[in-house]
Amino acid sequence: MPSRDLSAFFRPASIAVIGASADPSHIRGRILTQLVKSGYPGRIIPVHPRGGEMLGLPVSPSIGAVGAPVDLALIAIPADAVAGVLEECSAAGVRAAYIFSSGFAEEGGDKRALQQQISAIAERTQMLIAGPNAVGFMNVNLPLVASFTPAVDFAELPRLRAAPALRRIAVVSQSGGLAFAFFNRGIKRRLPFSYVVNTGNEAALDLVDIGEFLVSDEQTGVLLLFIEQIRRGPAFVALAERALRLGKPLIVAKIGRSGAARRAAVSHTASMTGSDTAYEAVFRRYGVIRGEDQDDMLDIAAAAALAPEPLGRRIGVVTISGGVGGWLADTLETQGLSVPEFSPALQAQLRTFLPSFAATGNPIDITGQAIGTDYRLRSIETLEASDEIDAIVVGNSLAADSRLPLEKAALGEIAARRRKPILFYSYPLPSAEAQRDLEEVGIPLYTGIRGVARALSLLAERNDARAAQSRSTASVQSASAARGAAASLLDRAGATLTEAESLAVLQTYGVPVPRHRLVDSAAAAVEAARTIGFPVALKVQSPEIPHKSDVGALALNLRSEAAIVEAYDTVLAHARRAVPTARITGVLVQAMAAPGLELILGISHDQTFGPMLLLGRGGVDAEALGDRAMTPLPLDTAAAERLVDQFDRGRFLSAHRNRRARDRRALVGLMLALAQIAQDFAGRLMEIDLNPVILGAEGEGAMAVDALMVQRTEGAKE
């Protein structure tokens, strides 16, 4: 899906400011004055009915009277007047409009209608419209500041444009308050930015539109998104996939985990959104990094912008303090990284220039005595060249580091050829000089060890997602025979399929299920059990009784004909007592599955992202254990493998003491088959629940022992 061309916004040749004022004590006045102050190189046309001149610029009395093409209109007028002005803009051929004015959906009530007018105009005229109720945006490199925010330090802009960076950061925020707050904090720590955009109420263009444009933008290599709500789930997924493929990290905040945040969102935007678990699953699948607060996101962005991607999790640590080295090592390992002991060969290499009192095992502790030596620099050089580690963390005291200016050129050379991240951490707050020196050589500087560890860990995890993406098969295989057979099964079934019907659908896709037969008498049950083999289960089949065990409508482990005869009547009686009106389609006689690990596999539909595959533990404590993992469809082998990894983390599926490893391959095969069914009947099969799936040891396979499917039926076939 090609992104919309938003160059009229971000690189306009001319800008009209509608509702212009030259008085910087008013919001409107700040828009014009800051636009001028930013050094925007195009034409600026203040528009105001009074005409005259503002800041030396001739004022046009209306947009229609400009008499020249206008790329972008910045609109800051009362809410009531906005729709009319947009019509005028459209008539005058204006290509894009950014509406600052508030007093729309955020106030609720009949103000919503005013916002709907804007949406309608956008759709009808195809003019690009952002806002309303928005704080503004900036293009650092044009330059262009279109905002009333007081958070832009204009003196910093030239430096910001000049500093080297592997990738520049674009901020896109649905929160007006936070958009420039990210930028403001980021430039204080000398991070490189390309754009800052607040999307406001998103009457027309939304965060995904802006993201799509920026991910294709050459100047931008990292996207930092503050998300209250994704309005178009599949488009967001496409954006995330694209960003992953292009190696442009998405670092996001997404609010709405808590009941309180949902209350706030409803009162704020009057809209609900998909479950946070589904967002989390989508983020994980497509390598989107979720940050915890502003500084956390900037910590991650710093490494993303300034360092090569970490291709693994093995970290080499260089420090001048044993305490700092140990704390770094602890924190790196807590965040899922490793600080492996160096090989004897590598340690011998370090010993050629390090003194006897230095530790060389990893962390390398050159100790405080080494201040004034080149031990730090040579240690970095050595680790940079080694294959034993994937990233380097240097724990320094940069409050007054007299070596840094001397080593700057050499560090710059290392940085220029580095293949792995080199991150500096200073345990005292660093001097301004040290900050500047490291900015100039493009090495990210941290003041917190947690930030160092989070950045490396999350970027390594993103790299895993990227590797899975590159392994992913081109497209889902068609299975037209299975699909046709399943379709006719579904045609014959009602809204809620019985277990027998659900098992039949699974079988058409090759999913192993226990031997079974549907019977309608105790005698037939006995006969079936003889064929199937003892022990067996009896399960009453009825669309009205989807959860048989809750009402005693099943009996397990029946080992004799007598037991079957007795149980047959019992389970039917239980079923009839529980749901007297239930339509019973028979009793399923089913072989008992061999013992194995009980799992749950299912498909559910998320409001934002559509069908999701769920993998969980089964059995009594399943809910209490809370082991669940979820991923959006479509699924391929690589994604299924990653989901299993995430679910398991080496606990249940791998060999352990006397226990054999589980048949992971069979599990992945079953997941793929399930995902295939869900996709083949997307929009029709709304819910699939395999509970339990019994997973055997390696080579023993996986089996769906019970299944429940719910389909959307047109004209209710009962």
d(CA 548, CA 550) in angstroms, rounded, equals 5
The continuous run of DSSP H or E covering 284 comes out as: helix 276-285
Report the residue number, 416 or 655, with the smaller CB distance to a second copy: 655
Report the residue number, 466 or 662, with the smaller CB distance to a second copy: 662
d(CA 699, CA 596) in angstroms, rounded, equals 12
d(CA 131, CA 119) in angstroms, rounded, equals 10
Q: Taking the complex as a whole, how short is the minimal distance between the CB of residue 596 and a second copy, in angstroms?
A: 12
Report the residue number, 65 or 400, with the smaller CB distance to a second copy: 400
Distances (CA, A) of 350 to 48, 194, 342: 70, 40, 10
Q: Taking the complex as a whole, how short is the minimal distance between the CB of residue 109 and a second copy, in angstroms?
A: 9
Report the residue number, 258 or 343, with the smaller CB distance to a second copy: 258
Report the residue number, 386 or 469, with the smaller CB distance to a second copy: 386
Report the residue number, 36 or 453, with the smaller CB distance to a second copy: 453
Q: Taking the complex as a whole, how short is the minimal distance between the CB of residue 229 and a second copy, in angstroms?
A: 10
The continuous run of DSSP H or E covering 316 comes out as: strand 315-319
Q: Taking the complex as a whole, how short is the minimal distance between the CB of residue 708 and a second copy, in angstroms?
A: 17
Report the residue number, 353 or 652, with the smaller CB distance to a second copy: 652
d(CA 112, CA 603) in angstroms, rounded, equals 36
Report the residue number, 233 or 325, with the smaller CB distance to a second copy: 325
Give the CA angle between residues 190, 191, 196 to the nearest 5°: 120
Long-range interactions of 39-44: CB distance < 8 A, separation 24+: 39/143, 39/157, 40/15, 40/142, 40/143, 40/144, 40/145, 41/142, 41/143, 42/12, 42/13, 42/14, 42/15, 42/71, 43/13, 43/14, 43/15, 43/68, 44/14, 44/15, 44/17
Count each helix (H run) and each strand (E run) in the chain, helices first: 25, 29
Q: Taking the complex as a whole, how short is the minimal distance between the CB of residue 451 and a second copy, in angstroms?
A: 8
Report the residue number, 301 or 613, with the smaller CB distance to a second copy: 301
Q: Taking the complex as a whole, how short is the minimal distance between the CB of residue 359 and a second copy, in angstroms?
A: 4
d(CA 636, CA 642) in angstroms, rounded, equals 10
Q: Taking the complex as a whole, how short is the minimal distance between the CB of residue 324 and a second copy, in angstroms?
A: 6
Q: Taking the complex as a whole, how short is the minimal distance between the CB of residue 331 and a second copy, in angstroms?
A: 7
Q: Taking the complex as a whole, how short is the minimal distance between the CB of residue 401 and a second copy, in angstroms?
A: 11
Report the residue number, 358 or 673, with the smaller CB distance to a second copy: 358
Q: Taking the complex as a whole, how short is the minimal distance between the CB of residue 705 and a second copy, in angstroms?
A: 19
Handedness of CA 151, 157, 161, 163 (dihedral sign): negative
Report the residue number, 255 or 532, with the smaller CB distance to a second copy: 255
Q: Taking the complex as a whole, how short is the minimal distance between the CB of residue 187 and a second copy, in angstroms?
A: 10
What proportions of the chain, in percent to the nearest 5, are helix, strand and coil? 40, 20, 40
379: CB partners within 8 A, 6+ apart: 318, 350, 354, 364, 366
Give the CA angle between residues 187, 191, 193 to the nearest 5°: 85
**Dihedral angle, C-alpha 196, 202, 205, 211, nearest 10 °:** 40
Could you tell me if 625 and 615 are in contact, meaning their C-beta atoms sit under 8 angstroms apart?
A: no
Query: How large is the angle between the packed helices 449-471 and 233-246, nearest 10 degrees?
Result: 100
133 conformational bin, left if phi > 0, alpha if psi -120 to 50, beta if neither: left
Q: Taking the complex as a whole, how short is the minimal distance between the CB of residue 616 and a second copy, in angstroms?
A: 15
What are residue 319's phi and psi, to 5 degrees?
A: -150, 165
d(CA 367, CA 358) in angstroms, rounded, equals 6
d(CA 20, CA 76) in angstroms, rounded, equals 7
Report the residue number, 50 or 651, with the smaller CB distance to a second copy: 651
Question: In this structure, what DSSP letter does residue 64 have?
Answer: T
